[in-house]
């Protein structure tokens, strides 16, 4: 008996189904409010803890852009649609020995496709970035 080799069209169909399923799951997760008493999923942090802004614990996955802007203000820089940078104080290490501005990087893009702006936080990071 010989092994079945998936055809390219089957692989494409499987990838398409996986993307659709991922998008549906992420949309459902983002649409859910954090229930009272539950711990929201916070941003990741890679910076000097002493410089971490007091607003850090207020930002979490699933928030709307309007909610984020009420806490952090308007973004300072948006390199691509659906990814916004919000300035914070100080300098953070980007790589060993290399310093950069401490910022929040907030992703609003669909995680499955990295293209569609969902209007909700799909990922977030606080720490150093450099050009």
pTM: 0.64
pLDDT in tens, the chain (131 residues): 555 555 555 444 444 334 443 433 333 344 444 445 556 788 888 888 888 899 998 999 999 999 999 999 999 988 888 999 998 888 998 888 899 999 999 999 987 877 788 999 999 999 998 86
* 36/86 Cα distance (integer angstroms): 27
* Short-list 115, 127, 118, CA closest to 43: 127
Instruction: Tell me the three state secondary structure of residue 86.
Output: strand
């Amino acid at each position: 008996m010989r092994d079945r080799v998936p055809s390219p069209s089957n692989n494409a169909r499987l990838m398409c189904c996986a993307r659709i399923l991922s998008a549906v799951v992420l949309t459902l997760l983002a649409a859910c409010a954090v229930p009272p008493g539950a711990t929201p999923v916070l941003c990741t942090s890679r910076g000097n803890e002493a410089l971490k802004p007091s607003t850090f614990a207020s930002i979490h996955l699933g928030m709307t852009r309007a909610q984020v802007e009420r806490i952090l203000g308007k973004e300072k820089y948006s390199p691509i649609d659906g990814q916004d940078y919000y300035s914070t104080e100080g300098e953070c290490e980007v790589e060993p020995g290399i310093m950069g501005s401490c910022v929040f990087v907030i992703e609003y893009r669909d995680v499955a496709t990295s293209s569609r702006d969902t209007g909700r936080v799909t990922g977030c990071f606080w720490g150093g970035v450099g050009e």
